[in-house]
Amino acid sequence: MYVAVKGGEAAIDNAHRLLAEARRGDPAIPELSVAQIRAQMALLVDRVMTEGSLYDPDLAALALKQARGDVVEAVFLVRAYRTTLPRFGASVPVETGAMTVERRISATFKDLPGGQVLGPTFDYTHRLIDFALAAESECEPAAEAEPRADAGTCPRVTDLLAQDGLIEPSPADDGAPVGDLTREPVDYPADRALRLQALARGDEGFILSLAYSTQRGYGRTHPFVGEIRVGAVDVAFVPEELGFAVPLGRVRLTECQMVNQFKGSGAAPPQFTRGYGLSFGQSERKAMAMALVDRALRAEELGEPVASPAQDQEFVLAHCDSLQATGFVEHLKLPHYVDFQAELELVRRLRAAFEETSDAAGMQEAAE
């Protein structure tokens, strides 16, 4: 006799064993080390840290190894681990103006104090497969840059613009505690800090597509890349019992300051406005996309019509998280046969009713 889905426990155990085997792959091929992933898949590690909301390159690399390279799965592992960590408080805001810059470019000025620093970038490479990489490769050391007289001073482009009042001032720290969307449910409308948290954790692909949509007219923001900078900053924390800041270490960040034209409104003079993006490691695409969407989400605050998806905070915030999205999409794999049964019965009933009426109509036609 047929009995529906029995033996779930054994099936799950076996699936787990198969997964472990598939993860390892051909045992004749040397196993990847976490250090190798961290060093050689560095941008992937950065993405996992950014969307996982946890700065720990080794952990992110391990998560990628365990997840067989599936980014969303790796982010999931990092997030699930993150929730189990005790929370001591919030750090002092990091000072990106004091960043040890390894890359820094501005699209709005030809040259500026501190210079344009290209750093490691794909930007000007020809995307030709380098077959030499298929073999083990030695690489030439990069040339040292000619030191500039103003090296080491790297003021933010937005600070330069602010001196002339051409750009809206950076919002002042009002001392109010910053919300934490991992600890409180989002209440709409969400303030900018919470929106930025959601965007930083949000799926890179989703944020990228939203940003792209603003460029194609769905909520235009007239953006210029004021500056992108990549480098390390100090993180400090003020323990209650000490009352002064204690350095905890350094993190690598990518910051994007988008400068957006603004014609002014009844309340504000014409000036440039800001869109802000920040990510862990080197994640320029993410930081730029985040900055564009941040600016788009400020539509209401700046008196612009809210007409496009990227300007609609309920739409963006409720759908940008890859874990929420993947969980709910993939949960359709779970059995739904009870509800399907209810729908089957309904569709059969509706079809029977439909056939009755069309039969009746057919009879009538024949009689005429």
Partner 1 sequence: MSAAIAQRPEREPGYNFAYLDEGTKRMIRRAILKAIAVPGYQVPFASREMPMPYGWGTGGVQVTAAILGRSDVLKVIDQGADDTTNAVSIRRFFARTSGVATTTRTAEATIIQTRHRIPETPLSEGQVLVYQVPIPEPLRFLEPRETETRQLHALAEYGAMHVKLYEDISRHGHIATTYAYPVEVAGRYVMDPSPTPKFDNPKMDDCPALQLFGAGRERRIYAVPPYTRVRSLDFEDHPFRVQEFTQPCALCGASGHYLDEVVTDDSGGRMFICSDTDICETRVAEAAR
Residues of this chain that bind partner 1 (CB under 8 A): 1-9, 11-12, 76, 79-80, 82-84, 86, 182-189, 314, 318, 323-324, 326-331, 334-339, 341-346, 350, 353
- The smaller minimum CB distance to partner 1, of residues 186 and 245, is found at 186
We find the least distance from the C-beta atom of residue 306 to partner 1, in angstroms, to be 12
We find the least distance from the C-beta atom of residue 325 to partner 1, in angstroms, to be 8
We find the least distance from the C-beta atom of residue 78 to partner 1, in angstroms, to be 10
CB 103 within 8 A of CB 282: yes
Place of tokens 């359709």: 332
We find the least distance from the C-beta atom of residue 101 to partner 1, in angstroms, to be 34
Angle at 77 between CA 73 and CA 83, to 5 degrees: 140
We find the least distance from the C-beta atom of residue 348 to partner 1, in angstroms, to be 10
- The smaller minimum CB distance to partner 1, of residues 82 and 220, is found at 82
Phi/psi-derived region of residue 289, left when phi > 0, alpha when psi is between -120 and 50, beta in every other case: alpha
On the 0-12 / 13-18 / 19+ scale of CB atoms within 10 A, 70 is middle
- The smaller minimum CB distance to partner 1, of residues 6 and 110, is found at 6
Which token pair is 294?
């941040």
- The smaller minimum CB distance to partner 1, of residues 126 and 183, is found at 183
- The smaller minimum CB distance to partner 1, of residues 171 and 189, is found at 189
We find the least distance from the C-beta atom of residue 184 to partner 1, in angstroms, to be 5
Residues 6+ apart with CB under 8 A from 225: 105, 106, 107, 108, 256, 257, 258, 259, 288
Question: Which residues face 246 on adjacent strands?
Answer: 237
CB 167 within 8 A of CB 160: no
- The smaller minimum CB distance to partner 1, of residues 7 and 217, is found at 7
- The smaller minimum CB distance to partner 1, of residues 11 and 360, is found at 11
Largest CA distance in the chain: 100
Measure CA 290 to chain center. 7
We find the least distance from the C-beta atom of residue 88 to partner 1, in angstroms, to be 13
The H or E element spanning position 208 is helix 204-215
